[in-house]
């Protein structure tokens, strides 16, 4: 990573939940997503550990969408001192209220039932967070429209914008403009990417600018390291949970759809204009295993 910029992975690395990625540019600290770990007990127990960063030290939280594995840790962070604004699209803003209040209710009910039946090893069993914590987190939300740059530092040189990811209502991937001396680099964080030509969602938006060798792409992947049916293939590189400076780099190479994928999407031969030529030049690809939901 360039000097003065660090990127740490605190979830969604070799697992598909708990998405939390901490970007620090100078003194500005930005958390990309704040998801809960879900699934096996060994993963759920990670939610109870102290976060590897001080919630009160964060300047901004950028949320790609309102699934619990991307926002479900916000009430816990709010309980532990988070005061930073939580930016998301208007639709994600609305969905977050439904999702977080429901998640808090489930936490409370699970604790109540464990105490009633006496099967918890804790006495009393406690929720990870409660409705008060969820409401505290919801008060931090800020609406940010698609494709509008948001200033994240005082000079306005560190900026971010939300672009349609086509995953669920209000979902986005995030493009950040990061100052590097007198220049800038771009960091693109995919979140969860949707599929093309789905009846209930718009297609994921393409990126139309030219990308340079120092630009960085954080990619949501599936088991074969492909994004959806018409995405990118990665040459090498793996992310590790709790990685400090993001020193995993690989060259990004374009991949056209296979014949099977063409049939799945109803494509014709030669129909490959996916607006993805520019990212093929990005030098650094940070590969997590936060799967695109298909």
- Does any domain span residue 293? no
- Does any domain span residue 120? yes
- Determine how β-strand 28-32 pairs with β-strand 60-62: parallel
Tell me the mean pLDDT in the region 217-233: 50
Phi, psi of 151 (to 5 degrees): -80, 135
- pLDDT band for position 15 (50/70/90)? confident
pLDDT at 285 > cutoff 80: no
Give pTM, 2 decimals. Answer: 0.77
pLDDT of residue 231: 34
User: What value does the mean pLDDT of the chain take?
Assistant: 79
- Does any domain span residue 251? yes
Tell me the mean pLDDT in the region 174-199: 91
* % of the chain at pLDDT higher than 70: 73
Number of domains in the chain: 1
Half-sphere exposure of 107 (CA within 13 A, CB side): 25
- Does any domain span residue 231? yes
- Does any domain span residue 292? no
pLDDT at 283 > cutoff 90: no
Tell me the mean pLDDT in the region 86-100: 98
- Does any domain span residue 147? yes
- Does any domain span residue 219? yes
Q: What is the pLDDT of residues 119-176, one digit of tens each?
A: 888 889 999 999 999 999 999 999 999 999 999 999 889 999 999 999 999 999 999 9
Q: What is the pLDDT of residues 39-70, one digit of tens each?
A: 999 999 999 999 999 999 999 999 999 999 99
pLDDT of residue 229: 36
Give the domain range for residue 50: 5-287
- Does any domain span residue 294? no
pLDDT at 197 > cutoff 90: no
Kindly report the CATH number assigned to the domain that includes residue 143.
3.60.15.10
């Amino acid at each position: 990573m360039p000097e003065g910029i660090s990127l740490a992975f605190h979830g969604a690395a070799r697992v598909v939940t708990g998405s939390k990625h901490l970007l620090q540019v100078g003194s500005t600290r930005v958390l990309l997503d704040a998801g809960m770990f879900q699934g096996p007990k060994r993963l759920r127990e990670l939610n109870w550990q102290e976060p590897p960063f001080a919630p009160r030290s964060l300047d901004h939280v950028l949320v790609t969408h309102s699934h619990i594995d991307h926002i479900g840790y916000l009430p816990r962070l709010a309980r532990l001192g988070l005061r930073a604004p939580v930016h998301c699209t208007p639709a994600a803003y609305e969905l977050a209220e439904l999702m977080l209040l429901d998640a808090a209710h489930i936490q409370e009910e699970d604790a109540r039932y464990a105490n009633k039946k006496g099967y918890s090893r804790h006495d009393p069993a406690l929720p990870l967070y409660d409705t008060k914590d969820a409401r505290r987190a919801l008060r931090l939300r800020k609406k940010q429209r698609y494709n509008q740059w948001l200033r994240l530092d005082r000079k306005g040189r560190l900026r971010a914008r939300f672009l349609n990811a086509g995953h669920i209502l209000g979902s986005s991937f995030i493009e950040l403009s990061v100052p590097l001396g007198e220049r800038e680099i771009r960091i693109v964080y995919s979140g969860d990417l949707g599929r093309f030509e789905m009846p209930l969602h718009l297609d994921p938006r393409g990126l139309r600018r030219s990308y340079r060798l120092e630009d960085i792409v954080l990619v949501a992947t599936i088991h074969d390291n492909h994004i959806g049916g018409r995405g990118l293939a990665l040459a090498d590189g793996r992310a590790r949970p709790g990685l400090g400076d993001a020193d995993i780099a690989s060259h990004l190479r374009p991949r056209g759809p296979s014949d099977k994928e063409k049939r799945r999407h109803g494509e014709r031969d030669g129909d490959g204009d996916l607006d993805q030529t520019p990212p093929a030049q990005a030098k650094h690809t940070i590969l997590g295993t936060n799967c695109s939901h298909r």
